[in-house]
Amino acid sequence: SRSLRLAVIPGDGIGQEVVAEGLKVLTAVLPADVKLETTEYDLGARRYHATGETLPDEVLAELKQHDAILLGAIGDPSVPSGVLERGLLLKLRFAFEHFLNLRPGKLFPGVDSPLAGNPAIDFVVVREGTEGPYVGNGGTLRTGTPQEVATEVSLNTAFGIERVVRDAFRRAAARPRRKLTLVHKNNVLVHAGHLWTRIFQQVASEYPEVTTEYLHVDAATIFFVTQPERFDVIVTDNLFGDILTDLAAAVTGGIGLAASGNINPTGEFPSMFEPVHGSAPDIAGQGKADPTATVLSVAMLLEHLGFTAESAAVEAAVAADLAERGDAVRSTHQVGDAIAARVSG
C-alpha cells in the first residue's frame, strides 16, 4: 500500500474551516490502498502571539519530510503587516524553491462573472515565485523621520526566469490553444524587463508551435476585463502575478473559487497548495467561508502527486456542484459535504 504524507497548515481565520473541507474531499477521493498520513502544524497568528515564532527551523525541517503541504490562510490584523507574510508564507515559498506559482483562471459554468455576458475564461497564470520584488531585499534610512528613505530591490536572474519560462512553454505546448503571453513592464523596468524578454524569446525559438505575445502589465489588466478569453497561458513575475491572479479570481467569480499551487517541479522540496484568498477574519468561525478554492487546490495537489484521475474527479465534482449551486446559501461544511459525496459516489 502507498502512503501520502501531508503536512497541513490551517493557519488563521477561515483557514481552519476551509482546510477541514479540503481534507474531507481528499480523504473521500483517494484510492483505498493509499494511506493518508496528515500532520497538522500550528503556525500563524496564534503561535506568533504565544511564542513569537513564525516558522522555526525545526518545523521547516519537519515540513521538508512531507510529500506536500496544504495551507489554509495566513494573517491576522493583530499581527503587524508583513510579519507572518514574510516570516512564514514567503519563507516557505523561498525555502522550498516554489518557483512555479500556478494559478488557474477559469469561469466554471453556472458561475456568474462580474463581467457582462460571462465570457469564456480558461487560462492559467504561471507566476514566478522566488524572485522579483518579493525577495525582501531593501531597507530604510533615517527611519521614522521626515528624511526617511525606503528601498525595495527587485532581484531577477536568468536562472530563475528560465526555469519558470520553460515550464510555461511546456504547459502552453500541451494545451489545445498553444498560446503564451509574457506580462512585464519592460518599457519602464528596463533591466528586469529586458532580461525576461530575452529569455522568453530564446526559449520561444524551441517552441515554434506556441504562439507568443508580450503585454505590459497595465495593458494586461485591461484585457483581463475586456477580452479575458484571449488568454491561454500567462507567464509573469512574482509581483505582477500576485496582482493579475487576484484580478483573475475576481473576473472568474471571486476568490472563493481561486486555487493555487506553489510548486517545486524538481521534487527536491514539497510543494504547497493553498487557496488564493486570505484569512478573512471578518467572517472567520461562522461557517460562511466557501471552501471551493481549497478543494480545487487539493485537485492541484493530487495532480502534482500523480493522482491524475482523482484530481480530475475532484475538479469534475466541483464543476458539477457549481453548476447546480445557484443562489442557495450553504455553510462551509455543506459545500464540503456535497463535493465529497460526489467524489465518493
Ligand X SMILES: CC(C)[C@H](C(=O)O)[C@@H](O)C(=O)O
Close Cβ partners of 42 (under 8 Å, ≥ 6 residues apart): none
- The piece of 34-42, 77-85, 96-104, 318-326 that touches a second copy (CB under 8 A) is 77-85
- E strand or H helix at 53, and its extent? none
**Residue 206 φ/ψ, nearest 5 degrees:** -85, -10
Measure the CA–CA gap between 258 and 102, rounded to whole angstroms: 11
Cell numbers representing residue 232 in the block:
491561454
Binding residue for a second copy, selected from 149, 309, 316, 323, defined by CB under 8 A: 149
155 binds a second copy (CB under 8 A): yes
326 binds a second copy (CB under 8 A): no
Q: Could you tell me which of 153, 180, 155, 182 has the C-alpha nearest to residue 169?
A: 180
Indicate if 246 belongs to the active site. yes
Task: List the catalytic residue out of 12, 76, 242, 321.
Answer: 242
The answer to whether 138 and 113 are in contact (CB under 8 A) is: no
Task: List the catalytic residue out of 24, 185, 232, 321.
Answer: 185
The answer to whether 156 and 189 are in contact (CB under 8 A) is: no
Residue (115 or 312) nearer to a second copy, CB: 115
Binding residue for a second copy, selected from 4, 6, 90, 107, defined by CB under 8 A: 90
Indicate if 242 belongs to the active site. yes
Task: List the catalytic residue out of 134, 167, 232, 237.
Answer: 134
The answer to whether 157 and 135 are in contact (CB under 8 A) is: no
The answer to whether 217 and 234 are in contact (CB under 8 A) is: no
Indicate if 134 belongs to the active site. yes
309 binds a second copy (CB under 8 A): no
Measure the CA–CA gap between 272 and 100, rounded to whole angstroms: 11
Residue (84 or 199) nearer to ligand X, CB: 84
87 binds a second copy (CB under 8 A): no
Which residues belong to the active site?
134, 185, 218, 242, 246
Provide the binding-site residues for a second copy, judged by CB under 8 A.
75, 81-82, 85-86, 90, 112-117, 133-134, 136, 138-140, 142, 144-159, 162, 185-195, 197-198, 217-219, 221-222, 224-226, 239, 242-243, 245-247, 249-251, 254-255
